[in-house]
Structures are given as structure tokens and as C-alpha cells.
Chain A
Amino acid sequence: QSLLTQPPSVSAAPGQKVTISCSGSSSNIENNYVSWYQRLPGTAPKVLIYDNDKRPSGTPDRFSGSKSGTSATLGITGLQTGDEADYFCGTWDSSLSAVVFGGGTKLTVL
């Protein structure tokens, strides 16, 4: 059971927008920074978002991150078939003194 809760799956049509939620608590999301990762089939995970809403160089601006209270959200606009992947959120948990992750969300672009 992951400490951060994500929907197991989301889907949308090409060109549409999708959001993926990540729900936590005051010991993790609310008081620390959230990162988001994309794992394309057969590849290493890649960071998409860090510090809640910052994009590393190379992350398209179709990807955005936000945080409010104990929840964070990854948004993807202009969906492409190449966006089909597993998406994970992660953050530090101050009570556990450990990094914690969500269970992952599988995105299907119909």
C-alpha cells in the first residue's frame, strides 16, 4: 500500500488533456516538494516535474505540475500516443524520513 494515492489508470483521446492526481498527507506532500516521473514501456523512468511545478530541460511544456495542500496534480495537454506510459509521483516523508512514491498511473491514449 503506497503512502501516496494515485488512480490506477486514466485515458483520453489524442489531442485532449488529462490530469493525474497524487494524494498524500501533511507529513509528505503538504510540507515537501513533489516530483513526477514517466516510465515509457521498456525504458528507465524519467523525471518530468520537480519542486512541484518545475520542468527539467527536455520536458515539453505540455506537461505541468501543481500542488495544493496534501494533493498534487500532473497535467498533460495535447496528448500524443507517445505519452502512453506509467506516471509516478514522489516526495519526501518527514515522519518516515524516507522518499515515498505513489502506486503509479497507467495512461492510455485512445
Chain B
Amino acid sequence: QVQLQESGPGLVKPSETLSLTCTVSGGSISSHYWSWIRQPPGKGLEWIGYMFNSGSTYIKHSLKSRVTISTDTSKNQFSLKLSSVTAADTAVYYCARHTGGDGFRGVYFDYWGQGALVTVSS
């Protein structure tokens, strides 16, 4: 059974960089696509981007200038860095494995972490 667990600071100051790590167990991150998704308080889910093939990434256009997704295959982990954060980046951040067919037309998320709340505040 694949399991994912997010970890990282729960409080980040405005203008600093938010860093989260997702540890995957029960499966290798060298296969499949791995995504970051967030949910601000009172709002819907927002997909941030994905990593695949142990390093290739795709970031949602509106966040591209601030987001880096990287991987550490030796630890079976992938990470999210979001720079220049503001209060609008306060959210529960999820890592998830995504799968599906027909290119991305059939994309869906079959395993999720529990989520990590990150608050941006001074």
C-alpha cells in the first residue's frame, strides 16, 4: 500500500520560502507522477504541479515563477519550495500520486498524504 506523508514548518514569515517534503513509502517515486495540491481556508483545492521521471517537472502557469519541485530518490522523497510567500499562500498542502490514461485527459489522484497546514504570518 502506497503511503505519503508531508512534513515541514507549519509557520512561514511573509516574503520567505515555504518548504515541504513528501515521503513516499510502499512504492518508488521513480515511477508514476507526483503532485502537490493545496487548499486555502474556505476555498477549493488548487493543483500546484507535478514531478515525474525522477526530476522532470511541470508547474501550473500562475505559480511557475515561485515554485520549485525537486526529488531525492535515495530517500524516496519529493519536495516543494514556494518563494516570496504571502498570506494568500496559507493553506493545507497535500502531496499526491497521480495516474490516469489518455495523456492528462484522464488524470486523477489515487494516493494522497494527510496534508500539512502551513500558515504565512509574521
Contact = CB atoms under 8 A, between A and B. Distances in A.
Interface of A: 2, 4, 31-33, 35, 37, 43-47, 50-51, 56, 88, 90-92, 94, 96-104
B106 A51 contact: yes
Interface of B: 4, 35, 37, 43-47, 60-61, 94, 96, 98, 100-102, 104-110, 112-115
Contacts, number: 78
Contacts of A104: 44-45
B108 A35 contact: yes
Nearest to B109: A47
A47 B18 CA distance: 27
B93 to A, nearest CB: 12
A96 B60 CA distance: 8
B95 to A, nearest CB: 10
Contacts of A88: 44-45
A25 B46 CA distance: 17
Nearest to B115: A44
B112 A32 contact: no
Most buried by B among A37, A43, A44, A94: A44
B105 A31 contact: yes
Contact of A101 (B46, B112, B115): B46
B45 A101 contact: yes
A96 to B, nearest CB: 7
B60 A98 contact: yes
B104 A45 contact: no
A103 B44 CA distance: 4
